[in-house]
Amino acid sequence: MLETQSRCGLLNRSFVLVAILLVSPIAASAASVTIFGNLDPTLARATANTAFDPNTNTFTFTLTNTSPFDARITGVGFDLVNGDFTANGSSGLNGFAGGNPGSFIFGDGSLGSIPQLDGVLDFGWLTGNNFNGGSPNTGIVPAASLTFSVTGALLAGLTDEQIAEDIFVRFQRVGSDGTTSDVGRPGRELSVTAVPEPASLTLFGSGLVWASARIRRRRNELKQS
């Protein structure tokens, strides 16, 4: 009896280990951040739902303009290393690649200054010649969303939360009269969760089926012996 219980316990522990190994290596992470204007957080707002895949060093986020009136998002950028303007010059870190969603153009060179705030952007998306400018006519209007994606070896080792909290968002046509502009940063509303990729869920299900069948077969063998 003790030998049978010992063997069953070993099988159960093996089952748990298989499940953990199948899920852990390819788990991605996700974060949701709320972005507030620096001058007036009630008139310039946005949310970003983000995901980071450490296997490919790819960071993806969907930016939604939640501002009132007709405020437009005309630029998006990331400053991964705060206070690095002197060390890296006006272009910040380089070596990133990204797509051009909507009317936004990706760049990781010199993107211009960040109005109202210190720092230099490492990469970003513009609708004009620089982050300070931009085209309100082609920006993200209130209640609209746009998905951005960037890949770079320098993202390795960072968490989704660390990347997400380094976002800068440029707003124009802010306020009821549309005469103000602003720059937004993430506020205190930031949450991060681990999100298994579809492949890991499939492997996890397969592992459960395999381990369960193995345990049942072994138990039957022990009963018959």
DSSP-assigned states of every residue in the chain:
-HHHHHHHHHHHHHHHHHHHHHHGGGEEEEEEEEEEESS-TTTSEEEEEEEEETTTTEEEEEEEE--STT-EEEEEEE-SSTT-HHHHGGG-S---EE---TT-EEE-S-----TTS----SEEEESSSSSSS--GGGSBPTT-EEEEEEE-GGGTT--HHHHHTTEEEEEEEESTTS-EEEEEEEEEEEEEEEEE-HHHHHHHHHHHHHHHHHHHHHHHHHHH-
Burial class (CB in 10 A: 0-12, 13-18, 19+), 139: buried
Domain boundaries, the chain: 27-197
d(CA 14, CA 77): 46
Q: Which two tokens stand for residue 197?
A: 């990729």
pLDDT tens for the chain, 225 residues long, are: 544 444 444 444 444 434 444 445 556 778 899 999 999 999 999 999 999 999 999 999 999 999 999 999 999 999 998 777 666 778 889 999 999 999 999 999 999 888 888 788 999 999 999 999 999 999 999 999 999 999 999 999 999 999 999 999 999 999 999 999 999 999 854 444 445 545 444 444 555 555 555 555 655 655 565
Q: The tokens 């205190």 sit on which residue?
A: 188
Q: What's the pLDDT at 46?
A: 98
Which residues, at least 6 apart from 211, have a Cβ–Cβ distance to it below 8 Å? 14, 15, 18, 19
pLDDT the model gives residue 210: 52
pLDDT at 20: 41
